[in-house]
Amino acid sequence: MIAPADLNVIDPIIEQAARQPEATAIVQAEGTVDFAGFAGALAGVAAGLEAAGVPRGAVVAVIAGEAYESFRAMLGVMLGGRVLLALDRDMTAGEVQRLVAVTGAAALIADDRGDAPPGVRVLRLADLPRCGDPARERAPGGERVAQIVVSSGTTGPSKAAPATHRELALRIADRARESGIDATTCHRPVIGMGFVLGRYPAMRTLNAGGRVIFRPLGASVPELVASFAADGVTYLALTPSHVSSLLEALPPGDGPALPTVRTLTVASAALPKATRRAVLDRLTPNLHIAYASNEVGPITHAQPEALAGRLMTVGRALAGVAIEIVDEAGRPLPTGEIGEIRVQTPSMTRAYIGDDAAGRAIRDGWFHMGDTGHLDEGGYLYLHGRTDDRINCGGRKLYAFEIEDALLAHPAVAEAAATGVPSKRHQEVPVAAVVLRHPARVVELVAHCRTRLEPWKMPRRLRILPELPRTPNRKVSRVELRRILTAPPERRRKETS
């Protein structure tokens, strides 16, 4: 039995390989991989790094396009005691080089890219051994760093935060309990392995002895949805953007479109009320809402039973997690009042690498999420947007969600985002943008908002966009939204032509 101080985050998969070596772990288009074979495949990566002279404890970046191969490489890095820096395949070469340099990566595992700065060794994924001995390649874990997590970059450049094997194991185990994952679970990743919302659900499933399906995604939404049912997928993890895309493209039909799904977890951003209802009506009644961050791990979880009475909650604090709502001076606010969310968790990061942002985010033992919200009398958390979504209009405070909710109540509006921009007279004024599901004029949308908003809360500028600007994690980029909404008229015309 491995002592907790020695825990490697890959140990649960190695244990499954010993317990049920011939059980299916991975399903690919070309065949299946059992747990023994998968554990050996991870050990092959570790052995390849050892043979290449990459020492244990060194940072190894992984950027690859094929989902299974990148997943294998990422887990193999951690099994062998190296520190994983998982990167998104769609990152620019400049961003890859910046993160590799900031983290001091010694090597980059890639398929067809060569983005590493001079002095960083590039290892081709295809050249790494396909198999190895897990017992020989496994390295001690515990408080040693397992991975460097790249933040979503909602309000600026992505930041890098380390997580130990213990912290990472807690982040994965917590959500597994709340999601009801067990040996019968079948998970289909939809999000790339460069994101925690892509690889964590896959790791949770394998840790429990379930199977993960890595097949090419369908060319259309009906084809994708049909493949979920054909493969018997029981567990999906999506962002609000993915959910909206599914709902928009899904043809009308009788009953839920995902009949085999026992858990559909939506995470990473607030999900509007109308979208939640549409998920329950058209996709599955088994909706779970999660609140977490790359730097902190899971914070809350709302199961279907909670959502039945509190549709807009993101759930109550998980075991061991403390949540407070505070004002701008850091003073706790009473139940029901909106303020900044700060949390304490056993798995939260304590610092960023090469960035002083931790001094702003971590204060007095609390991690300040940069989100606003409130707690109800039952301890359920409700989100209201980012702290920089809080608009100070002439000394009066309003929140972007108030404008967004008003716009989303119009039947033509598919997506809405609001923010504040500088004003000489009022300090800040609200502005907004929408994406339409069918034609509507701006004057019509403005008239609609007047019936729901006080005059001073009305957006001073409202634009119709083909799509909202988003970060790689599919969150709305408020930085880019402000740029678009404050661009000179001629520049705006060219950008949208």
Domain end position, chosen among 164, 183, 202: 164
CATH code where residue 377 lies = 3.40.50.12780
**pLDDT attached to residue 150:** 81
Indicate whether 134 belongs to any domain.
yes
CATH code where residue 68 lies = 3.40.50.980
Q: Which residues contact 185 (CB under 8 A, 6 or more apart)?
A: 205, 208, 210, 211, 234, 235, 262
Domain end position, chosen among 121, 146, 164: 164
pLDDT digits (tens, 9 = 90+) for 306-340: 999 999 999 999 999 999 999 988 999 999 999 99
Residue 320, classed as helix, strand or coil, is coil
Window from 146-155, 193-202, 218-227, 318-327 with minimum mean pLDDT: 146-155
Rounded Cα distance between 414 and 466, Å, is 11
* 339 and 403 assigned to the same domain: no
Asked if 36 and 13 count as a contact pair (C-beta separation under 8 A), the reply is no
Indicate whether 16 belongs to any domain.
yes
Find the farthest-apart pair of alpha carbons in the chain and give their distance in angstroms, rounded.
Answer: 70
pLDDT digits (tens, 9 = 90+) for 50-104: 999 999 999 999 998 789 999 999 999 999 999 999 998 888 888 888 888 889 9
Residue 494 has pLDDT above 50, yes or no: no
Rounded Cα distance between 353 and 102, Å, is 7
Indicate whether 279 belongs to any domain.
yes
Stronger pLDDT, 280 or 392, i.e. the higher one:
280
Residue 345 has pLDDT above 60, yes or no: yes
**pLDDT attached to residue 356:** 56
pLDDT digits (tens, 9 = 90+) for 30-55: 999 999 999 999 999 999 999 999 99
CA neighbor of 205 nearest in space, from 229, 184, 232, 174 = 184
Q: Which residues contact 387 (CB under 8 A, 6 or more apart)?
A: 340, 370, 371, 372
Residue 407, classed as helix, strand or coil, is helix
**pLDDT attached to residue 152:** 58
Residue 158, domain extent: 1-164
Rounded Cα distance between 287 and 236, Å, is 10
- Looking at 42-82, which runs of residues are DSSP E strands? 59-63
Indicate whether 191 belongs to any domain.
no
Rounded Cα distance between 15 and 1, Å, is 10
* 335 and 359 assigned to the same domain: yes
H/E run at residue 78: helix 67-79
Number of structural domains in the chain: 3
Asked if 335 and 325 count as a contact pair (C-beta separation under 8 A), the reply is no
Indicate whether 242 belongs to any domain.
yes
* pLDDT band (50, 70, 90) for residue 478: confident
pLDDT digits (tens, 9 = 90+) for 3-30: 578 999 999 999 999 999 999 999 998 9
* pLDDT band (50, 70, 90) for residue 442: very high
Which residues lie across from 429 on neighbouring strands? 421
Phi then psi for residue 168, to 5 deg, are: -65, -40
Residues 147-181: b if buried by 16+ CB within 10 A, e if exposed: bbbbbbbbbeebbbbbbbbbbbbbbbbbbbebbbb
- Looking at 151-272, which runs of residues are DSSP E strands? 160-164, 186-187, 211-214, 235-238, 263-266
* 302 and 157 assigned to the same domain: no
* 222 and 321 assigned to the same domain: yes
* 335 and 230 assigned to the same domain: yes
Amino acid in position 51: A
* Length of the chain counted residue by residue: 497
CA neighbor of 196 nearest in space, from 143, 149, 247 = 149
Quote the tokens at residue 302.
């709302």
Residue 349, classed as helix, strand or coil, is coil
Asked if 116 and 122 count as a contact pair (C-beta separation under 8 A), the reply is yes
**pLDDT attached to residue 5:** 80
Stronger pLDDT, 296 or 95, i.e. the higher one:
296
Phi-psi region of 185 (alpha: psi -120 to 50; beta: other; left: phi over 0): beta
Indicate whether 210 belongs to any domain.
no
Rounded Cα distance between 61 and 89, Å, is 12
DSSP string, 456-479: GGS-SEEEE-SS--B-TTS-B-HH
* 47 and 25 assigned to the same domain: yes
Asked if 40 and 34 count as a contact pair (C-beta separation under 8 A), the reply is no
Indicate whether 287 belongs to any domain.
yes
Quote the tokens at residue 65.
């396009």
Using a 10 angstrom Cβ sphere, with 0-12 exposed, 13-18 middle and 19 or more buried, the burial of residue 351 is middle
Instruction: Return the number of other C-beta atoms located less than 10 Å from residue 461's C-beta.
Output: 13
Domain end position, chosen among 164, 184, 208: 164
CATH code where residue 466 lies = 3.30.300.30
* pLDDT band (50, 70, 90) for residue 267: confident
* 380 and 404 assigned to the same domain: no
Quote the tokens at residue 86.
């998982």
* 415 and 360 assigned to the same domain: no
* 133 and 30 assigned to the same domain: yes
% the chain with pLDDT above 90: 62
* 224 and 337 assigned to the same domain: yes
pLDDT digits (tens, 9 = 90+) for 364-392: 889 999 888 999 999 999 998 777 777 88
Radius of gyration of the chain (CA): 23
* 380 and 486 assigned to the same domain: no
* 36 and 120 assigned to the same domain: yes
Indicate whether 255 belongs to any domain.
yes
